[in-house]
Chain A
Amino acid sequence: MTLLTTRQETPDDAPRPDQDTRGQGQRASRRASHILSAFGFFGFVGLCFTVWLGLWITPPDEFMGNLVRLLYVHPPLAWVAFLAYGVAFLSSLAYLWPRTRSLVLDRLAGASAEVGVVFTGLTLVTGSIWGRPTWGTYWTWDPLLTTTALLFVLYLGYLALRQVPGDAEVRARRCAIGALVAFIDVPIVYFSVIWWKSLHQAPTVLDPINGKTYVHGSMAWTLLLGFVSFTLVYVWLVGHRYRLAELRDREDDEGLEAAIAERRAEANP
């Protein structure tokens, strides 16, 4: 399914009776490209506004001071990290279901996972940066942060699984089951870390969103803008990453065909 590929240059061909269908398919994929670019454009613009509002226009918080500005970046990044994982999980699940099995879903899972690992890493980094001036330490074993750290490693494992060479369908099935196993683990990890922390009566004020701060006025709007913009950018990134995966798969397929054709041509001079 060449949903998102760019139009290929075709050398002079005799016009074919089915030219129209091909034209339609190409128009659809061009429309999809435009929609994708729209996501990217609005996401980028939104991010610019978020930065501008976040760093300059919004007031400092009465408790956290200027540190609240990281609130416009860290929670949205975390949200996208989990969203990306959810998308990877759902498309893996859909792939395993025989009715909806399609390599499109497998590529989507892989694309979402790669984008997700970037966002997860950034979540951890921004979380650490927040933690240092707030609690004096770069890392706390906060349930949310610890679960995110584990999510990061689970992602890395999944991506390593995707690199293993093999037939596309075999790889897809293998990765889908890997995603299933890993994703189901995430809530279990979350609850076990909460129980673990409660044993030692650690301070629970560690979640930035539920902190003592009252988010209102321009801060709330900026936060919302942050969430929306990062999500739009996520969609754009996944779209392009998906396209890359599709092109690579075609390269492999056609490379094989070309090699076979060459051998045949050699055999019949």
Chain B
Amino acid sequence: MWRDALLVAGKDLRIEYRSRVTLNQIVPFALIVVVLFGLALGPDKTMLEATASGLFWIAVLLVTVLAVQRSFAIESADDARDGLRLSGLDPGGIFVGKAGAIAVELVVLEVLLAVVASFLYDVHLTSALFLGAICVLATIGLSAIGTLYGAVAAGTRVRETLLPLLFFPVVAPVLLAATNAWKAGLAGAPSHGLHWLVLLGAFGISYVAIGSVAFGSFLEDR
């Protein structure tokens, strides 16, 4: 299964490398979101500084939806889904591969967003290692849910509106955990955020497990 996962992840990342859609479209979108938050919450930096971690993570959530849509849009061209189904790859592996590719793209985006946000919102990225760990763990959960629901929505005609509706409520705990952990980290007290790490880890593990088992049935149906 892991070999199949690497194969699929490699394929997705290579497509991204050649088409650069994430770079050309999703990254600017993320940046715009961060700027819009700044515009909405006023030029007075105190509000922005206080809400910085929340704004960051909402931006990440929005970007995740786009990344997932993109990941499944590649499959719709040239009957790639049928190709995937007939390839004999382990469905769990396909799931982990797709989720993994999304996760990699997201982590890169998060680093970029963090730097830009710290710049715009006047926030110092203290305990950066802790912040990074949160990012990685949260991203695992986000990409697992995203890939699962992305597959569900991809087979329908209402995929653009269905995916956000399904995705956002389920990842609410990730938003809570990541935001509060980041708050603790930014305030220089990462030890206060350790239980959030545990929650994020549990979330990620559960949904990666569920996803690898359930994904097979989505490939089967037309």
A and B pair up: yes
Partner of A174, one of B177, B195, B221: B221
Do A199 and B169 have beta carbons less than 8 Å apart?
no
Interface residues of A in 154-198 (CB under 8 A from B): 154, 156-157, 160-161, 164, 166-167, 170, 173-174, 177-178, 180-182, 184-185, 188-189, 191-193, 195-196
Report the nearest A residue to B159, measured CB to CB: A164
A180 to B206, alpha carbons, bound, how many Å? 12
- A150 interfacial contact with B, CB 8 Å: yes
Using C-beta atoms within 8 Å of the partner chain, give the interface range for chain A: 20 to 34
Do B173 and A161 have beta carbons less than 8 Å apart?
no
| A180-B214, A181-B210, A191-B199 given; A199·B180 CB < 8 A | yes
Do A170 and B222 have beta carbons less than 8 Å apart?
yes
- A153 interfacial contact with B, CB 8 Å: yes
| A164-B158, A188-B203, A195-B195 given; A157·B221 CB < 8 A | no
B146 to chain A, nearest CB (A): 11
B residues less than 8 Å from A150 (CB atoms) = 169, 172
| A156-B165, A161-B152, A161-B166 given; A185·B173 CB < 8 A | yes
- B29 interfacial contact with A, CB 8 Å: no
Partner of A193, one of B176, B195, B202, B218: B176
Do A196 and B176 have beta carbons less than 8 Å apart?
yes
| A173-B217, A177-B152 given; A185·B195 CB < 8 A | no
Contact mask for chain B residues 153-184; partner A; CB cutoff 8 A; 1 contact, 0 none: 00111100010011011101100110010000
Do B207 and A170 have beta carbons less than 8 Å apart?
no
A170 to B222, alpha carbons, bound, how many Å? 8
A60 to chain B, nearest CB (A): 38
- B145 interfacial contact with A, CB 8 Å: yes
| A160-B162, A170-B221 given; A153·B169 CB < 8 A | yes
Contact mask for chain B residues 187-221; partner A; CB cutoff 8 A; 1 contact, 0 none: 00000000110010011001100100010011001
Do B199 and A174 have beta carbons less than 8 Å apart?
no
| A181-B210, A191-B199 given; A154·B217 CB < 8 A | no
A residues less than 8 Å from B168 (CB atoms) = 153
Do A192 and B176 have beta carbons less than 8 Å apart?
yes
A residues less than 8 Å from B138 (CB atoms) = none
Report the nearest B residue to A196, measured CB to CB: B176
Do B199 and A154 have beta carbons less than 8 Å apart?
no
- B68 interfacial contact with A, CB 8 Å: no
Do A185 and B170 have beta carbons less than 8 Å apart?
yes
B residues less than 8 Å from A182 (CB atoms) = 169-170
- B137 interfacial contact with A, CB 8 Å: no
Do A161 and B162 have beta carbons less than 8 Å apart?
yes
A residues less than 8 Å from B206 (CB atoms) = 184
What are the nearest 7 A-B pairs in CB distance? A192-B173, A170-B221, A153-B169, A157-B166, A192-B176, A164-B156, A188-B173
Residues on B lying within 8 angstroms of A by beta carbon are: 145, 148-149, 152, 155-158, 162, 165-166, 168-170, 172-173, 176-177, 180, 195-196, 199, 202-203, 206-207, 210, 214, 217-218, 221-222
The contact sample of 23 A-B pairs, CB cut-off 8 A, is A150-B169, A153-B169, A161-B166, A164-B156, A164-B162, A166-B156, A170-B221, A170-B222, A173-B221, A174-B221, A177-B152, A177-B217, A177-B218, A178-B149, A178-B166, A181-B145, A181-B149, A181-B207, A181-B210, A182-B169, A188-B203, A192-B172, A193-B176
Residues on A lying within 8 angstroms of B by beta carbon are: 150, 153-154, 156-157, 160-161, 164, 166-167, 170, 173-174, 177-178, 180-182, 184-185, 188-189, 191-193, 195-196, 199
Known: A157-B169, A173-B217. 11 other contacts (CB 8 A): A154-B169, A160-B162, A164-B157, A174-B221, A177-B152, A177-B217, A192-B172, A192-B199, A195-B199, A196-B176, A196-B180
